[in-house]
């Protein structure tokens, strides 16, 4: 399976649909608009942070199970990003360090590949869409989710800034599968058809290199 990664507003959902259409495969999306816990988290992060991560962990494992039989199915978020996000919340005082450690340990244990279990959990390819902080803020404002807006909660500025910085470090250290970085500022595949065609060629080349297509 192919998984997408990147900060809020990087274009993961759009690229997921583009890839699924291009590869004639199935797309799996992060539960956001129908997520009843997410708005509660933004109102009271410390109270609902751990519950939200458990919700996402359960949903992501379900998606991995459903997508693992087809090497070109596309998931719009990697489960391996979750510890990064929750660790940031802990560092900002929006969760406890103990909760973050328990969550990271749980992800590692649940994603460990076991030789006697035929079902694979790790992706065949991780694609990370990398965008600048300014682009990130612009897209968050453009999509208009009230609980994501800095105007509604000024503390989100520091959260988003730190999140964007940490993603680069996370991607550099990621080693669970082959990976591909896409410059989302240079190739605005969401709005530019030429950029979209170029990104699809990049992905096709990587998939051929890995003998996935």
Active site residues: 76
Query: According to DSSP H, which parts of 69-184 are helical?
Result: 82-91, 97-111, 133-143, 156-173
| 78 annotated as ligand-binding | no
- Which residues are bridge partners to 181 per DSSP? 128
User: Was 77 annotated as part of a binding site?
Assistant: yes
CA angle, 201 then 188 then 211, to 5°? 25
How far, in Å, are 43, 47, 101, 141, 184 from residue 39 at the CA level?
6, 12, 24, 16, 27
**Phi and psi at residue 179, to the nearest 5°:** -140, 160
10 in a known ligand binding site: yes
Q: Rounded CA gap, 213 and 210, in Å?
A: 8
Residue 11 is assigned to a ligand binding site: yes
Does residue 107 contact residue 79 with C-beta atoms inside 8 Å?
yes
Compute the distance between CA of residue 2 and CA of residue 16 in angstroms, rounded to an integer. 9
82 is in an annotated binding site: yes
Q: Is there a binding annotation on residue 64?
A: no
Q: Is 14 annotated as a binding residue?
A: yes
94 is known to lie in a ligand binding site: no
3-state secondary structure of 139: helix
Residue 79 among known ligand-binding residues:
no
Ligand-binding annotation for 181, yes or no, is: no
Q: Annotation-wise, does 30 bind a ligand?
A: yes
Annotated binding site: which residue ranges?
A: 6-14, 30, 42, 53, 77, 82, 139-143, 148
Annotated binding site for substrate: which residue ranges?
A: 30, 42, 53, 77, 82, 148
Annotated binding site for ATP: which residue ranges?
A: 6-14, 139-143
């Amino acid at each position: 399976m192919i998984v997408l990664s990147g900060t809020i507003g990087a274009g993961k959902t759009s690229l997921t649909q583009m890839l699924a259409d291009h590869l004639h495969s199935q797309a799996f999306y992060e539960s956001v608009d129908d997520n009843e816990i997410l708005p509660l988290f933004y109102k009271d992060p410390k109270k609902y942070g751990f519950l939200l991560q458990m919700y996402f962990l359960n949903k992501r494992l379900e998606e991995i199970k459903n997508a693992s039989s087809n090497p070109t199915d596309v998931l719009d978020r990697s489960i391996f990003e979750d510890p990064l996000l929750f660790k940031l919340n802990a560092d900002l005082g929006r969760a406890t360090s103990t909760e973050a450690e328990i969550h990271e340990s749980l992800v590692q244990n649940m994603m460990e590949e076991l030789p006697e279990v035929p079902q694979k959990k790790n992706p065949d390819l991780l694609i990370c869409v990398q965008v600048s902080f300014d682009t990130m803020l612009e897209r968050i404002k453009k999509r208009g989710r009230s609980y994501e807006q800095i105007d509604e909660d000024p503390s989100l500025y520091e959260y988003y800034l730190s999140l964007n910085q940490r993603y680069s470090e996370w991607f550099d250290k990621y080693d669970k599968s082959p990976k591909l970085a896409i410059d989302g500022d240079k190739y605005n595949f969401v709005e530019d058809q030429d950029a979209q065609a170029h990104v699809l060629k990049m992905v096709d080349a990587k998939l051929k290199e890995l003998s996935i297509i």
